[in-house]
Amino acid sequence: MKFLDLCKVYIRSGQGGKGCTSFRREKFIEYGGPDGGDGGRGGDVWAEAVDGLNTLIDFRYQQHFFAGNGVPGMGRQRTGADGDDIVLRVPVGTEILDEDEETVIADLTELGQRVMLAKGGNGGWGNLHFKTSTNQAPRRANPGQPGVERTIWLRLKLIADVGLLGLPNAGKSTFLAATSNARPKIADYPFTTLHPNLGVVGVDGKEFVVADIPGLIEGAHEGRGLGDLFLGHVERCAVLLHLVDGTSGTLLEDWQTIITEIEAYGEGLADKPRVTVLNKIDALDDEERAFLKEELEATTGGKVMLMSGAAGEGVTEVLRALRGYIDENRLREAPEEDTTWRP
C-alpha cells in the first residue's frame, strides 16, 4: 500500500426536497383543504477519524463525495425522506484544510472524533404550512434549500511520540528496524527513505511510537530533494531523536544542516526536546568515539549519546532517554509476551 499524506477532495451536501402543493380529495369530504407535505432534508457530509488507517491512499481513487438529496414532500401530509449522510473515513491525525490550504477547519487527533464539513439543505414547506383563515387554499410551496459545495484538503500528520531526524544514511531506518517490528528498506548503498515509517518500540514494560522521517538535505526548506514535505509528521512528537553518522567526514556540518532545516521550517520544531546520538560507533575505535563525542558536545552545547543501531550497542540507553521526555499518559503498557527490545 502506498503512502499518501495530502489530497484534494470535492464534497457536496444534499439538497433539501421541495414541498408539495396538494389538496385533500376524498369522497364525501367537502372542502378537504391543503395537505401537501414537507420535503426531506438533504444529507450532511462528515469526516470521522477511524482506526486501522495510516494513509490517505483511498482518496487518491475517489475525490468526489456527494450526500443524498432529500425526497420531495407528497400529498396526505407525507414528509419526504431525508437524504443519506456521507462519511469520509480518515486516519487519526488528519488535518482538514479549506481550499486555500491554510485555514484549518478541523484537526482529528482522537479516535472516533467527528466533524461536519457540509450541512444538508432543509426541506421546503408544503402548502399545508401556508393555510390561514384568509387563505384557506394556498397554492404555494417552498423549494428545498440547496446543499453546500466546497473543496477541501486532507493533510495527514502521523501520531507518533518520537520523531527520527538525520541526513540520508544516518541510520534511522536501521534503528527503527532493530527496535520494532517495522521493516523499512535497508541496504548497503546510499539511498534515502521515500515515505515515513512507523514503529512501536518497547522499553522497561512501556511502549511508544517512533516515526522514521525521510532524510533531509541542505536546502530542503527551499524544496531541494524531498524538501520539508514530511516534517509535518514530527510536529506532534514529544521528542526528536537526531542521529548523526559517526563515519561521516563532515560530522559537525551534518548536525548543523539538520538544525538549520528544522529552524527554517518553523512550527515550533526547533523548540522541541532533542536527543542527539552519535550513530554507527561500531565502525569506530574507543579513541575516535571519545574524540567525536567531545567535538559534537562542544558544538551542540548538550549531551551526546553513543549508539550503534546495527550492533545494538547503546540502544537501550537511548530508548530510556527518549522515554523520559514522553508524558506517562502517552505511554502504553507492553503486552504480556513482552515486545521490549533486547540487544
Q: Is 321 annotated as a binding residue?
A: no
Q: Distance between CA atoms of 56 and 46, rounded to whole angstroms?
A: 16
Q: Is 176 annotated as a binding residue?
A: no
What single-letter amino acid sits at 67? A
Q: Is 129 annotated as a binding residue?
A: no
Residue 58 has φ and ψ, to the nearest 5°, of -60, -30
DSSP helix/strand/coil, 94: strand
Q: Distance between CA atoms of 152 and 139, rounded to whole angstroms?
A: 41
Q: Is 22 annotated as a binding residue?
A: no
Cell of 93: 491525525
Q: Give which of 140, 210, 208 is closest to 173, Cα–Cα.
A: 210
Q: Distance between CA atoms of 219 and 214, rounded to whole angstroms?
A: 14
Q: Is 335 annotated as a binding residue?
A: no
Q: Distance between CA atoms of 277 and 246, rounded to whole angstroms?
A: 9
Q: Is 81 annotated as a binding residue?
A: no
Helix (H) or strand (E) holding 64: strand 64-66
Q: Is 123 annotated as a binding residue?
A: no
Q: Is 273 annotated as a binding residue?
A: no
Q: Is 177 annotated as a binding residue?
A: no
Q: Is 179 annotated as a binding residue?
A: no
Q: Is 159 annotated as a binding residue?
A: no
Burial (Cβ within 10 Å: 0-12, 13-18, ≥19) of residue 240: buried
Q: Is 169 annotated as a binding residue?
A: yes
Q: Is 170 annotated as a binding residue?
A: yes
Q: Distance between CA atoms of 259 and 244, rounded to whole angstroms?
A: 12
Q: Is 213 annotated as a binding residue?
A: yes
Cβ contact 144:125 at 8 Å: no
Q: Is 281 annotated as a binding residue?
A: yes
Q: Is 228 annotated as a binding residue?
A: no
Q: Is 212 annotated as a binding residue?
A: yes
Alpha-carbon dihedral angle through residues 179, 183, 187, 191, given to the nearest 10 degrees: -100
Q: Is 298 annotated as a binding residue?
A: no
Q: Is 167 annotated as a binding residue?
A: yes
Q: Is 105 annotated as a binding residue?
A: no
Q: Is 172 annotated as a binding residue?
A: yes
DSSP assignment of 272-286 equals: S-EEEEEE-GGGS-H
Q: Is 128 annotated as a binding residue?
A: no
Q: Is 32 annotated as a binding residue?
A: no
In what side-by-side order are the strands of the sheet with 94-97? Answer: 64-66, 6-12, 149-156, 94-97, 104-108
Q: Is 161 annotated as a binding residue?
A: no
User: Per the annotation, where are the binding residues?
Assistant: 166-173, 191-195, 212-215, 279-282, 308-310
User: Per the annotation, where are the binding residues for Mg(2+)?
Assistant: 173, 193
User: Per the annotation, where are the binding residues for GTP?
Assistant: 166-173, 191-195, 212-215, 279-282, 308-310
